Structure 1
Amino acid sequence: MFYIRRAIFTLLFTIGEALSDNVWFQQPNLAGDLRLLSETQELAQAQRSAEALQVWKEVTWKAAVAAYDAAKTRPEEDMAVPTYNVSEACRNATFRYQEDLLRGKMYALQMFDATGKLPSGFFEGNLNWWGLYSQCTNITAKGYGENINFDAKYWTATIGPLPPGYLRVGVCVPDTCSRNDVIQWLDGSVLMRLLLREGLTVMDAKSLQVQTTLPRTTLAAICIISIIVALMTAGTLYDIYRPIWEVHQPTRSENANKAVTETTPLVNDTSVTRKTEERPVSKFLLAFSVRTNTRKLLSTRESPDSLGCLHGIRFLSMTWVILGHTFGFVLPHLDNLSYRLTVSRRFSSEPILNGFSSVDSFFFLSGVLMAYLMLLQLDKYRREGRRFPYWQLYVHRYWRLTPVYAFVLMLWVWVYPYIMTGPAATTAPDPGCPKNWWYNFLYINNFLDMVTVNIQCMGWTWYLANDMQFFVISVPIIWLTFRYLLVGMITQVVLLLASFGATIGLAIHYNLQPVLTSPGQYPDATNLIYQKPYCRIGPYLVGLMLGYLLYRTRGQVRMHKAVALLGWLAATGICMGVVYGLYNHLTQGVVLSRPVAILYLTVHRTAWGVGLAWVVFACVNGYGGIINTILSLKAWIPLSRLTYCAYLVHPMVIYLVYQDQTETNIHYTDILLAYYFVGHVVFSYAVAYIVSMMAEAPMRHLEKLVLKQDT
């Protein structure tokens, strides 16, 4: 506590007073004034601190420059002069800016105004002192008609560490100063000389590089997007005006080549016109029709074999994922971090802190649909005496996922960084994408590290890699279950036990805690266990087993109401235990015994799948009541179709909201979090609709055109 109070006093004094009078140009550092400032940290009486402050205010920048120049000629003298290496262009421009600031010139006042200063809320965790990014970048000192050869440039300096994190200060300086100049100026300033006593140093300085010319890759992406937009326009126009064109086409009737008589109709009778088969070019254009694709996307019709409650579960699980990411991504941008930490201790916040089961819901749903639909097709092909096209399952799966995946990756790497502005933005692409993008298209990127050397591209897509790997092995498993029930079930049980064994072994060896947010969790837990298929397959296997059960029963199971009630109570208890069972551990820091921690880590994902399995089983068989009514609402169907695209784009949407801020922090409140959450859901699905129109829906049509059948 004493350390924090000393650091706060230093920041209040040096930044609030010394920095405000001399911006950040205290590089000359008169020896006596530096000692006086250093001594103020030890002053206990407010009167002496005020007295020292008054002395410092009397030091002008001209005296500082004179002392600096004198010190250069007397290096042997023990002067408190920094030994940094600042370019001459930056030094000259800085002195000119400082002089114009004291003269009250408008551009210099605006630059000073745009520099970050000590704001309110430091005790609440406000460590982002952005200043005014937009104002700084719009300042053109050259436009004042004087002999000024620089413009303003915005830099974000990272200083730390402080107990809550790192301090980020925005500085508006002449554009002749490089990154090294900014760091050296700060390192040699009175500000940093004082902060060094508290163990604080300048970690880095970054500036958003404004692109005068776009990279070739970005231009290529723009061309691809333009071509797709042109195809969408042409396809939509063709779709709208096709009926008119067909009406005016010549009629292929029996009288077409005969002479015109009194019995020949004056207008061609289109009701008897033979409609010609659409050509491949027509089908290709229609694949991009926004009109046709929107109708199919927003349609609420279902096939007789569909499981209606899955639509609601899928959409609600996606909103749960967005809720967790909203809460997690906002942390670096809060101006009241301490309040957020207080809120996180609430019992109602547990679904956010322990919201990792939302991803397990998708694994479970994938398993259910995979087993249920494939078994129905196997049964159909057997009754018809046809050979089942197993290879088409893999082609179909890869075709449906990869093109839209590639389209979003193109936006993420080539376009997205160049639409960002603000102090937290960056034009640097995802560091894992330049070298490791091909792992994503082979769906093995989950075996790369999340944050270290071989970093992933689009890190959140580790889920897609797991899901594809589960799909690959599930095809032979379902075939075994269809042909040899006992062998298939034993195989699934063995896989589940192997997953438990792998999780237990890793938990014991690395002393892993129950979840990623647990206090004292192993730093590399994400790479070791969170994204590895052999630790995440449990819910998927539960889904495969339920899919087989639904295939065999076809919604005809009847049970006593007491049994159904008991099932609902058990499922509710299991799911509530998974989500809320770690409340004291996550919020109060209660240490779990090793057996309990390992047990939870091993079985909680599978247990969550078992709880959902009962919900689906009860709803399909007519024991869902109001829950089935809610989950089976027709409104969920279009949103459910957009879930895949929403999963791909929603981190981009959240990053855009938080990183594209020009100068403001976010003041956390419950209402504001709800506002951001709802906005992220709406915005994510809106972007998902656009991506679906541009990439996903056309590929579904083209798949039928290439394979010449509905798949």
Structure 2
Amino acid sequence: MFTARKWIFLIFLISQTSANYLPPLVPPNLKKVNSQIFTNLTLNLNEILASLRLQKLGNSTECGAKISQLVTDIKTGNPESVAFLDALGKPGPGVTTGNFLLLGNYDMCGTGALGNQTSGNVYKNCVVMATLKLGSLPLSLTWTGCSPPECSSTSDVRGVLDQIAALINKSRIIQTDPSSWSVQCDVEQKFDAGAYVAVMILSLSGFLVVVGTMWYLLEPVVLSITDRGRDDTTVLVQAEETEHGDEDPDKKLSNLEEKYRTSNQSGRILGLLGPLLKCFSLQKTMGTLFSTSTKPGQVLCLNGIRVLSINWVVLGHAYAFSPYYIAGYSYVADLMKRRGFMVIQNGLPSVDSFFALSGFLVTYLLLKQLSKRGGMSPLQWVAFYVHRYVRLTVPYLVAMLVEGWLYRLLTSGPRSQQMFSSSLSAHETCKKYWYTNLLYINNLVPFKGNGGCLGQGWYLANDMQFFILAPIFIVLLFWRPLIGLLGTIGSIVSSAIAAAVITAVYHLGPAFTADTNQDDYWLLYNKPWIRITPYLVGILGGWVYWRWGGMISTRVERLPEWLKVVYAAPLWAVTAAVQYGVVCGLYQDIQKVQLHHINPSEVDSVFYQSTARIAWSLSLTLQILLCQCGLGGFINSLLSWTGWQILARLTYSVFLLHIGLMTVLFGQLRHPLFLNPDFEFSVLYLGILAISYLSAAVLYLTVEQPIANLEAMTYRKTK
């Protein structure tokens, strides 16, 4: 029979392995390991409890005394003790299949059931993490429960944990280093300067949307009134001229205009503010969002590729968050045995797709302008960069403010403190490095960091840096094609060599796995000299399409359908096979790392890291050219479907918002996730995707498109 002491002991020992947004390392003999854990914690429990006397904790601190009292008073049925133990995380079913997650009843902490029993004294939710060793097997464990008011500080709870760890070591069954134990208790999240700025900006945006929408509706009425005033003025002028025929007409008109000065100034003000306010109107922004009209020269297949790529990115991040709450790692081990799981496990090419698309589109559009004008003036080059910076930065800033300062105020859950109060949380990184994001240097400052404020911001920094450099390659390709071609190819080769050298020097694997040194991996993952490869390939693709796309399309149109298939089928087959190899080619290597702790050979790692980005982006760029030149068949029809345009306009906002939304979602969870069968994760992913697109639509309608409308009023004048 389990006593109160046994429950107290178990809550510190049985929980889930923590993760850093990565699939955990799964022991190859998982069932045997779990059997050992279960056997030692049950058959040897009495021996452990014989030396674990929690009452002794009362001799040290007020916190320890309170815990000892709660455990002792459970025998008498003390309501506070019952509620305290009821709120603690307890062992559930599935221990032998990897269910080590024990989330206490979070809602009983604070002013919940425990608050009612203590006359309002607040119990805080705490998360305890401890590294234990069962034989030769290290386990990183976590547990959540309520901490009594007497344990007012984290150090109080830590003092109790140190004593518990020392008593556990005396059992000689499970060993632990007390210094490795950590505890994090809820702290009140307060408004700070950043939160106030976020609220002000969101309020201003909402106000402008409301006013702009109302003005769009009322403008005809207001202008008609203004026009009527001007008509009355004309009639009065004619009357004055009739009555004072010999008086100076200019003087008479001046006197009359003075009479109606207020009306005329209002008209002029409305004429100036009207177009600005209409930029925020929902009628205009929704019209843009839901428009499916096309223009000659558009590369329509990019819309479908963009939407599918962002959905792939969200899929990978949705799985990356789930290890925090997975209740059975045997399911993870089964997932890793599936070759199809590589789409999630090795989904990094989804980001390379965006780099390639960006390089292709920038090159194609800029070459069209250069060929039309024969060059660009200094003012036009300034507008070229300002246009890009404004369009990206304003919605980026709003997303930073919301995720970095507001989400933590809106989220509460068993593990929300870990997500919002750690040194790596969005709030802390935003406070420290917000300026690096606005300068688009957050992939370099800090040098070994994940992107400053907003983890996904590293991509935007790279993309902006590539955009700044792109005209160098594009102008050379326009004026000196041979030099431009050699320079672009040489840069691609140099980037591949840099990736190979970094991989070899730092002994990095071919993919980002749970045992990868994250500090070293950032040298490879988010640095511009490594990630520029697909962007440069996209530049070459845009140049090829601008220079020869029309000619190839004309010749392809003359071919019979069967001959088009003969030409296109091998190219599609080869590019698809290369892409499959890039994504799934690491199946054996990742299996060795994740399931058997065997690192792949350095040769394999160097080869993959230096060639995978080139292979993926070349294949994708060739597929775009096939679609645009009439050899895409049903694939082009699918990717160029006009309905993709609506979702494609939201992809930037989805990219900005989806990780923050997942942080809130997972931070609110009160229960573990049982992802087996796959249906549960599918529902979770589709829900995240739907929420991301709905939130993106709000950001698009209230910030992104209104700013685009305002900026376009000025940008068009420089063209």
Q: Shorter-chain TM-score category?
A: 0.7 to 0.9
Partner of 1:314 in structure 2?
Answer: 306
SS of the residue corresponding to residue 649 of structure 1 reads helix
Q: Cα offset for 1:256?
A: 7.3
Whole-angstrom distance in 1 between the partners of 2:317 and 2:403: 17
Residues 1:520 and 1:45: Cα distance change in structure 2 (over 3 Å): closer
CA contact (8 A) 2:575 2:620 kept: yes
- Confirm whether residue 106 of structure 1 aligns to residue 79 of structure 2: yes
- Confirm whether residue 378 of structure 1 aligns to residue 370 of structure 2: yes
Whole-angstrom distance in 2 between the partners of 1:94 and 1:511: 48
Partner of 2:616 in structure 1?
Answer: 608
Between Structure 1 and Structure 2, which shows a larger proportion of helix residues? 2
CA contact (8 A) 1:351 1:579 kept: yes
CA contact (8 A) 1:333 1:665 kept: yes
CA contact (8 A) 2:508 2:521 kept: no
Q: Which amino acid is the alignment partner of residue 206 of structure 2? A: V
CA contact (8 A) 1:507 1:513 kept: yes
SS of the residue corresponding to residue 445 of structure 1 reads coil
Partner of 1:206 in structure 2?
Answer: 184
Structure 1 residues without counterparts, runs of 5 or longer? 1-12, 26-40, 69-81, 261-274
Q: Cα offset for 1:23?
A: 9.5
Residues 1:49 and 1:358: Cα distance change in structure 2 (over 3 Å): closer
Whole-angstrom distance in 1 between the partners of 2:42 and 2:485: 81
1:96-117 CA-to-partner distances (Å, cap 9, x unmatched) read 5446533324343222111111
Of 148, 160, 164, 1:185 maps to 160
- Confirm whether residue 353 of structure 1 aligns to residue 324 of structure 2: no
Partner of 1:285 in structure 2?
Answer: 277
Residues 1:339 and 1:140: Cα distance change in structure 2 (over 3 Å): closer
Whole-angstrom distance in 2 between the partners of 1:200 and 1:50: 17
Matches within 5 A, 1:486-497: 486-497=482-493
Partner of 1:115 in structure 2?
Answer: 88
Whole-angstrom distance in 1 between the partners of 2:539 and 2:168: 61
Partner of 2:545 in structure 1?
Answer: 550
Residues 1:356 and 1:85: Cα distance change in structure 2 (over 3 Å): farther
Structure 2 residues without counterparts, runs of 5 or longer? 13-35, 239-266, 557-562
Of 431, 437, 441, 1:440 maps to 437
- Confirm whether residue 541 of structure 1 aligns to residue 541 of structure 2: no
Partner of 2:140 in structure 1?
Answer: 166
Whole-angstrom distance in 1 between the partners of 2:649 and 2:315: 20
CA contact (8 A) 1:107 1:139 kept: no
Residues 1:223 and 1:483: Cα distance change in structure 2 (over 3 Å): same
Partner of 1:153 in structure 2?
Answer: 124
Partner of 1:302 in structure 2?
Answer: 294
Partner of 2:6 in structure 1?
Answer: 19
Q: Which amino acid is the alignment partner of residue 128 of structure 2? A: A
Partner of 1:75 in structure 2?
Answer: none
Residues 1:616 and 1:435: Cα distance change in structure 2 (over 3 Å): same
Partner of 1:527 in structure 2?
Answer: 522
SS of the residue corresponding to residue 189 of structure 1 reads helix
Of 198, 206, 225, 1:229 maps to 206
SS of the residue corresponding to residue 404 of structure 2 reads helix
Partner of 1:339 in structure 2?
Answer: 331
1:555-578 CA-to-partner distances (Å, cap 9, x unmatched) read 441355322222112211211111
CA contact (8 A) 1:340 1:668 kept: no
CA contact (8 A) 1:130 1:156 kept: no
CA contact (8 A) 2:592 2:599 kept: no
Of 459, 479, 494, 2:455 maps to 459
Residues 1:109 and 1:285: Cα distance change in structure 2 (over 3 Å): same
Q: Cα offset for 1:457?
A: 2.5
- Confirm whether residue 128 of structure 1 aligns to residue 101 of structure 2: yes
Whole-angstrom distance in 1 between the partners of 2:8 and 2:280: 61
Whole-angstrom distance in 2 between the partners of 1:216 and 1:501: 45
1:462-485 CA-to-partner distances (Å, cap 9, x unmatched) read 111111111111112111111111
CA contact (8 A) 1:310 1:616 kept: yes
Whole-angstrom distance in 2 between the partners of 1:205 and 1:196: 24
Out of 191-200 and 533-542, give the one that drifted further: 191-200
1:610-660 CA-to-partner distances (Å, cap 9, x unmatched) read 111121111111111110111011121011111111111111112122122
Residues 1:360 and 1:618: Cα distance change in structure 2 (over 3 Å): same
Partner of 1:641 in structure 2?
Answer: 649
CA contact (8 A) 1:381 1:388 kept: no
1:285-320 CA-to-partner distances (Å, cap 9, x unmatched) read 222212211111121112212100000000100011
Residues 1:130 and 1:50: Cα distance change in structure 2 (over 3 Å): closer
Q: Which amino acid is the alignment partner of residue 106 of structure 1? A: P
Q: Give the percent of matched residue pairs that are identical in Structure 1 and Structure 2.
A: 28
Matches within 5 A, 1:528-677: 528-557=523-552, 558-559=555-556, 560-561=563-564, 562-589=566-593, 593-677=601-685
Of 223, 227, 231, 1:250 maps to 227
Of 677, 697, 700, 2:705 maps to 697
Whole-angstrom distance in 1 between the partners of 2:603 and 2:373: 49
Of 463, 468, 478, 2:464 maps to 468
1:163-187 CA-to-partner distances (Å, cap 9, x unmatched) read 5752211222312202122222233
Partner of 1:6 in structure 2?
Answer: none
SS of the residue corresponding to residue 182 of structure 2 reads strand
RMSD, aligned α-carbons: 3.5
Q: Cα offset for 1:124?
A: 2.4
Residues 1:661 and 1:520: Cα distance change in structure 2 (over 3 Å): closer
Out of 654-663 and 552-561, give the one that drifted further: 552-561
Whole-angstrom distance in 2 between the partners of 1:509 and 1:23: 44
Residues 1:183 and 1:707: Cα distance change in structure 2 (over 3 Å): same
Whole-angstrom distance in 1 between the partners of 2:686 and 2:11: 41
CA contact (8 A) 1:423 1:663 kept: no
Equivalent pairs, count? 641
SS of the residue corresponding to residue 642 of structure 1 reads helix
Of 503, 510, 513, 2:509 maps to 513
Matches within 5 A, 1:33-72: 68=56
Q: Cα offset for 1:92?
A: 5.2
Q: Which amino acid is the alignment partner of residue 198 of structure 1? A: I
Whole-angstrom distance in 2 between the partners of 1:641 and 1:482: 29
Out of 367-376 and 115-124, give the one that drifted further: 115-124
1:596-615 CA-to-partner distances (Å, cap 9, x unmatched) read 43222111111101111121
- TM-score, normalization by structure 1: 0.82
